[in-house]
Structure 1
Amino acid sequence: MERTLITLNGSSQAALIDQDIAHIRRVMRPSLHRDLGGPILPATYWRKRLHQLLDTGSLSHSHLCAVDSLLLQLDQFEAEPPPVWDERVPAAATAFQPLRPVPAASHI
């Protein structure tokens, strides 16, 4: 299979960069939120993606500002302590209370 190099004109490349930045802005924070297994995608992944954009050398001033803002968000995320999942809720607070009494001998 022969590979061909695809070259983009300036406006096409800028549009792709805009789309990439918009995508990262939209999905980065939700993917960093931890669940019991940790983040869906770690901060190192997002930092690498943003640095790859910086390495293109084709970013406008607004692109640079957007990437810088996202990098600052990553810094802030990494500076915050992770949530504590191991704290137990007192047993009295977790007791289930039915909304209405259920008859003991109800048959269909």
Structure 2
Amino acid sequence: IAASVEMGAILGHVAHEGRIHLRGYARDVGLAFQIVDDIMDVEGDAALAGKALQKDAAAGKATFVSLMGLDRAKQQAAMLVEQAKNHLASYGAEADLLRAIADYVLERDR
């Protein structure tokens, strides 16, 4: 996610110092994406996800859900998405797609 955001900014001729907020956005969205992936592994629908679920627990893998609990992991993902969108406060409508992507991270089911 970070590379995609950074490449877009570079191709859009955003100066290095102008990309700081975009890096923060990418970091927070990427982490929220991983947390939601861990949540989906616990309570997702395998048919929608298109993959076997609950593999992490069976493998004894440490995940955000196993470390924080399901409710706290959901709260953390939501907080990260809001924080990601806050990184875009200095951008206008040109960042609306990035805001929508951040929101989608919480809504996705696959």
Classify the TM-score, shorter chain.
0.3 to 0.5
Q: TM-score, normalised by structure 1?
A: 0.39
Q: Which has the larger radius of gyration?
A: 1
Higher-RCO chain (CA-CA 8 Å, sequence separation at least 6): 2
Could you say which structure has the higher helix fraction?
2
